[in-house]
Chain A
Amino acid sequence: MPELDPIIHAPNRLRICAMLATSAELDFRLLKEQLDVSDSVLSKQLKALEDANYIEAKKRSYNGRPRTWVSLTDLGQLAFNNHVAALKSIINSD
């Protein structure tokens, strides 16, 4: 039975991973808009995921303005899939 991942389990981090799983990379601004949190709150959540090697953040310039692109690593994708599987197994545990 897959186990819940304590790093991903926090609601905002779970939603960040869910969003990142839909695409190759997402912009920091878009994540902030979707979660409706401040820069510092999002940075803190991303740092926790980055420390676990679940995500990668890359700064690139676009039209002269810096943008931070965030992507899920293979390890992060695996952890997210396992976490979702664990949640499903809890629901189906009866």
Chain B
Amino acid sequence: MKNDLPSQTEAKDALNAVHNIQQNLLIEYSPPVWLRLIMSLSYGAIFFGYGMTEHENNWALAMIVGAIIFTLSTALYYYLYKIQGIKIRIIPRSIKAEKINAYAAIGFAALGFFSRFLRTDISLDWAPHICAATASIVMFWLLIKLPTGETVVEEK
């Protein structure tokens, strides 16, 4: 291969082909936005319910309903991809996706902790609202940018 190295233009064309086909695949087959919105909002509801729950008040129900809707919508998300011929990756393989997932996991854990701690121990009553909104926005961003769990969708 060393003797017939492609020119810079050919290499650029090859990289463009890689980029284009990956981006086309991610955009063309991505599930509807409403489903991703439901997933994000129900995910946020879990954080909100957790932050607001005291003993057995109604917010515990919000947390449970949020978890059920999130599970069902995630199953539908996975299924919609599968019937189109794509199995999404649960555990990422690329370093970039691994990093994003690791940061997200740490961030969500922190949001869960602060959602409750700030309200119960420091009496910041708005903390669950902020944490739930942040969790929803981050989840929505992840579903838009990393729809199959591996390759990042880039701006056009």
Residues of A within 8 A of B (CB): 3-6, 9, 11, 14-15, 18-19, 21-27, 29-30, 34, 67, 69, 74, 77, 84, 87-88, 90-91, 93-94
Contacts and interface: CB of A to CB of B under 8 A. Distances in A.
Contact of A30 (B26, B86, B94): B86
Of B17, B25, B26, most buried by chain A (CB within 10 Å of CB) is B25
A77 B93 contact: yes
A91 B150 contact: no
Interface in B1-31: 1-2, 5-8, 11-12, 14-15, 17-18, 21-22, 24-26, 29
Nearest to B152: A22
Contacts of A5: 1
B15 A91 contact: yes
A57 B8 CA distance: 34
Interface of B: 1-2, 5-8, 11-12, 14-15, 17-18, 21-22, 24-26, 29, 81, 84-90, 93-94, 148-151
Given A9-B1, A23-B87, A77-B93, A34 B15 contact: no
Contacts of B93: 74, 77
A27 B86 contact: yes
A19 B25 contact: yes
Contacts of B29: 30
A90 B6 contact: yes
Given A87-B11, A87-B14, A22 B26 contact: yes
A3 B8 contact: no
Given A34-B24, A90-B8, A14 B17 contact: yes
B22 A18 contact: yes
28 contacts: A3-B2, A4-B5, A4-B6, A5-B1, A21-B94, A22-B148, A22-B150, A22-B151, A23-B87, A23-B88, A23-B150, A24-B88, A24-B90, A26-B87, A27-B84, A27-B86, A29-B85, A30-B86, A34-B24, A74-B93, A77-B93, A84-B18, A87-B15, A88-B15, A90-B5, A90-B7, A91-B12, A91-B15
Given A3-B1, A11-B14, A90-B11, 9 more contacts: A15-B18, A19-B22, A22-B151, A24-B90, A29-B85, A30-B86, A87-B14, A90-B7, A94-B8
